[in-house]
Amino acid sequence: MKSVPRLLTILAVLVGFGSTATASASVLQCVPYARAESGIAIHGNAATWWSQAEGSYDRGQTPQVGAVLVFRSTAAMPYGHVAVIGKIVDERHVLLDHANWSRPGMIETAAMAEDVSEAGDWSDVRVWYDPIKGMGSRANPTFGFIYAPGHESLSQTTLAKADESTELAGD
């Protein structure tokens, strides 16, 4: 009978180790999340995506649904960050889908991002930070957007709507 408590203790220790390994392995990072959501097949630290995209993907400073916004490396984010554009709200606001921003492994969808750059070129953004239920106070430098094939830009969408309005008015 003394062996049953010892066996239970060993099982509890093994289960405990298994849970810890599983929990730490399940923390989702921004890179695999952005890759899966956008279809952009780039690997490595987020801050390296911009240079890796050169020659393989179009890049620019205008948001597009499905594009990946690439954040530069900073003291607060030494590996950078990547987030997928889920929706364009207006010229200075988009909704991001991303992981590992507000807390480790957390997936956030429809998180507001605001262009706070002086030039309006998305080179600095503020992002919704869930723990404070508001926009973060820090301006985060970015490289710009890597465009996923098959997605429209804000300007393309605006032009298409303008063309549609003209066609309807002409009928």
**pLDDT, block means (10 residues), the chain with 171 residues:** 43 32 61 97 97 97 97 97 98 98 96 98 98 97 93 44 41 39
Residue 1 covered by a domain: no
Residue 130 covered by a domain: yes
Residue 54 covered by a domain: yes
Residue 129 covered by a domain: yes
Number of structural domains found in the chain = 1
Amino acid found at 105: G
Residue 16 covered by a domain: no
What is the C-alpha separation between 122 and 131, in angstroms, rounded?
A: 24
Residue 117 covered by a domain: yes
Q: CATH number of the domain that 106 lies in?
A: 3.90.1720.10
Amino acid found at 141: P
Could you give the C-alpha distances from 103 to 31, 34, 108, 132, 150, in angstroms and in order? 15, 16, 10, 12, 31
State which residues form the domain around 37: 30-170
Phi then psi for 120, rounded to 5 degrees?
70, 30
Could you give the C-alpha distances from 86 to 18, 95, 170, in angstroms and in order? 35, 5, 33
Q: What is the reported pLDDT for 151? A: 56
Residue 19 covered by a domain: no
Contacts of 47 (CB under 8 A, 6+ apart): 70, 71, 72, 73, 77, 79, 80
Residue 137 covered by a domain: yes
